[in-house]
Amino acid sequence: MSRFLGNLNPSAWAALRCPDFAASAQNGDTLPVLPVRDAADNAPLPALPPDIAARALFLPPLRFTPAPGFGRVPDDLFHALLLETGGSVRRSGFQKILLFNTSARARPAVETAALDLRDREGLDALVLHRETAVAAVETPPLPLVVVPLAAVEQHGPHLPTGTDALLNEALLDRALDNLPPGAPVFTAPPVLVGRSSEHFGFDGTLSLTTETLRRLLLSLAGNLRAGGFGKTAFFNTHGGNSAVVRQVVAELAEAGAPVALLRAHRLAERRLVGGISPREAQWGFHAGDWETSLMLAARPGLVRMDAAVREWPAPLERLGGGLSAAWLTRDISRSGVMGDATAATAEKGARWLAEAARALAEEIAALLKTP
């Protein structure tokens, strides 16, 4: 069970590896299901009809809707979230999607999005409403709120697409456990799908556009601020989100909002990988030794070490004068791996996970002491 992603059984998109999607898409009976739920709705997901449940491939739930609360987003942004997620499903070879909606407020927008998914993406969009009553839960404003930010994308032939979200959860849970009991920190609804378009061309990748992700983060931060919370700290575990979240932090800071970007886990990564090869330290930046070792420690049942590979990214054009080139994964990797996943071990992962979480806890504790 994952607090962020729910029950990661074989009927969960985030539990599958990149090679698994071709067979699922070719099987005409497989039906991707996108649960649409208000952020405050923590009740168990209603059961699907048996004939649909037998075919369901559950996507990560969309928890940002037009309903009041921390997860409230404008109708046009909600529409974009649905269309971009559906478009990603289409890119992975699927012809259909079921929008499984439990939000009364989102009902008309879900039905409108279904029409546009058919028109714009060529995706047969089915809709099932099972609206649930959401009890009002008062969350007392706290001085610090952490916004988890991750991704659901290809991680080579050996790791699940939910790797970034699962590692975010593992690091944050351990960091919070390292804080004194009762530390006044609130964890916001996680942003599970980020900007991952660099991995398009590899099945299983879900992505928002840069502008949609930016608007979502600004909306979430604004909702939390309006709810009386203090500083907002973004905790990001996907490199493709980095430029967007830095931009959002700058915008919020310029508007006078107290905001921070948690970085200690990244600094810990640079410090801890000293024992690996220089080549891995320089080029192992996706699904290599670091991420695979962490997953072996955190979620070993989702790792296929028999499928792990070693692949270094193909060199890009060398540009002088401090220039850099934008790249897509397919430009530099055949497998989707950039690094040596074969070198990973659970022992290294457990040590790295503990140290990175400890550094993250220290950074959160320091934020609690600053205005």
Number of domains in the chain: 1
Q: How many residues does the chain have?
A: 371
Cβ-Cβ contacts under 8 Å for 68 (sequence gap 6 or more)? 105
pLDDT of residue 264: 82
Mean pLDDT (the chain, rounded): 91
Does residue 39 lie in a domain region? yes
Residue 1 has pLDDT above 60, yes or no: no
Residue pair 184/364 in contact by the 8 Å Cβ criterion: no
Residue at 57 is within a domain = yes
Q: What pLDDT shows up at residue 370? A: 84
Q: Measure CA 317 to chain center.
A: 30
Which pLDDT score is estimated for 313? 87
Question: Bridge partners of 187?
Answer: 146
Residue whose entry in the numeric block shows the structure tokens 């493709």:
240
Residue 292: inside a domain: no
Tell me if 328 is assigned to some domain. no
Judge whether 281 lies within some domain: no
Q: Which domain holds residue 73?
A: 13-129
* 24 inside domain: yes
Burial state string for 312-326 with b = 16 or more CB within 10 A and e = fewer than 16: bbeeeeeeeeeeeee
> Residue 44 and residue 369: Cα distance in Å, rounded?
37
- Comparing CA positions, the residue from 287, 288, 239 lying closest to residue 266 is 239
Stretch 204-216: mean pLDDT: 98
CATH code, domain with 25: 3.40.50.10310
pTM: 0.94
Backbone φ and ψ for 237, nearest 5 degrees, come out as: -120, 25
pLDDT range class, residue 140, cuts 50, 70, 90? confident
Tens of pLDDT along 8-44?
Answer: 676 699 999 999 998 888 888 999 999 999 998 988 8
Query: What pLDDT score was predicted for residue 8?
Result: 67
Determine the pLDDT at residue 158.
Answer: 98
Output phi, psi for 37, to 5 deg: -140, 140
Q: Which helix (H) or strand (E) holds 347?
A: helix 346-368
- Residue 250, domain member (yes or no): no
Cβ 291 vs Cβ 155: under 8 Å: yes
What is the Cα–Cα distance from 25 to 202, expressed in whole angstroms? 13
